[in-house]
Structure 1
Amino acid sequence: MSQSSQFKAMEDYFQSLLNEGAPEPSRAEPAPQVPVPAVVAKPTLEKPRQAELEQLLAKVPVTKPTVAAPVQAAKPAVPRTPAAPPPVVWQNIQTEREFQALFFSVAGITFGVPLTELGGIHQLGKLNTLFGKPAWFAGVMTQREQQLNVVDTGRWIMPEQDATPDYQYLIMLGDSAWGLACHELMGTEWLSRDQIKWRDKAGKRPWLAGMVKDKMCALLHVRELLTLLKQGVNIDGV
């Protein structure tokens, strides 16, 4: 072997050692080339079509977003003090220009009541007394299965005196269950309004409508009298 051939063999050997462990180049067929997609240009509208589209877009209203107003917290309601009811105005009885009235007496005192305010007249019968009632409350009388409240009229008028005996009749007030005990019925008479000295205010005697001039007797204001009786107070309001 010549010297040059020997040198060439040694060179190939060392070169093989240097390449030991490195992967040998694959001898497979080369991988196919992936074609790169060509960039397709976006189609452009023709000029007349583009102008028409711009006109349509110009007609579309642009809605701006609305900003909601801040919600304010409601102020707490301040409770109102209820107004005091207006005072009740006293009104006198209304009658025709001429009207009938019944007159009766209690312990020598004469009273009159318009027939329009009269609920009836009963003969006084047996009374059932009740506890816890005012001194002028005489008791309850049963009349045709109805319970009638009997007032000791003399004691109601004059609280300082004792019970008045010998009542004969019961004068019923309006359509209520209250009646005034009396001693004598003095009949009915026609009266004209001019014969009455009418009161224009309640004063201390709201039950008194006026005075019959020629008889000098009291004409009863039945509605106000019933109010006092239901409240359990006497002529003095006690």
Structure 2
Amino acid sequence: EPEPEPLQCLLVKMYGVRLALPIKYLQGAHDISTMKLGLNHDADWILGSYDESGTLVRVIDTAMWTIPERYEPDQADYSELIKIKDAGWAITIDSMIGSQAIEEDSITWNNNPKARPWLLGTCMQHQCAVMNIPALLDGLNAACHQ
């Protein structure tokens, strides 16, 4: 049977953690300092929002959402946001490292997705956590429609 395609990812630093974001779910990046974010939001993990071609895009505080037990707001050093394709959400990161193809057999899959649904697995080879973007979106959308 054919070899599974490697997962094409964007490696980023977020709150000092290396995250691998599967590129097929991403749609552009912006420098946060150039963005005018509206700040009227119910949830403390939403940093703000902006309008892109008539669509509201909400910007999440990635560390507060993904690793709340380690999060301290004054330690966050976000410089960019990355828009998730067709979703109305963007995540914040400290910096981009570059693109990386990650072989599926190098990923240790997250066998307890209840604890961290956003975590697809970890890859020791590239010392990163691979993000499960569809599960992340499910969580964000569920949290917003309570």
Instruction: Indicate which of 46, 52, 57 corresponds to 1:148.
Output: 57
Post-superposition Cα deviations, 1:137-162, rounded to whole Å, max 9, x if no partner, equal 10112334432100011222343623
Higher strand content, 1 or 2:
2
For 2:80 and 2:51, the matched residues in 1 are separated by 14
> Is there any run of 5+ residues in structure 2 with no aligned partner, and where?
none
For 1:174 and 1:143, the matched residues in 2 are separated by 12
Moved over 6 A (4+): none
1:229 equivalent to 2:140? Answer yes
Aligned residue identity for 1:127: L
Partner of 2:130: 219
Look at both structures and tell me which one has the larger radius of gyration over its CA atoms: 1
1:134 equivalent to 2:43? Answer yes
Structure 1 residues 105 and 129, CA gap change in structure 2 (3 angstroms): same
Q: TM-score, normalised by structure 2?
A: 0.81
Aligned residues: 138
Aligned residue identity for 1:106: M
Post-superposition Cα deviations, 1:97-124, rounded to whole Å, max 9, x if no partner, equal 3231101111211111111222322222
For 1:197 and 1:211, the matched residues in 2 are separated by 5
Partner of 1:39: none
CA contact (8 A) 2:66 2:118 kept: no
For 1:221 and 1:165, the matched residues in 2 are separated by 22
State the Cα RMSD in Å: 2.3
Q: TM-score, normalised by structure 1?
A: 0.52
For 1:99 and 1:163, the matched residues in 2 are separated by 33
For 1:165 and 1:144, the matched residues in 2 are separated by 29
Structure 1 residues 207 and 158, CA gap change in structure 2 (3 angstroms): closer
Q: How big is the shift at 1:163?
A: 5.9
Higher relative contact order (CA 8 A, sep 6+): 2
Partner of 1:107: 15
1:182 equivalent to 2:90? Answer no
Local SS of the residue matching 1:205: coil
Local SS of the residue matching 1:232: helix
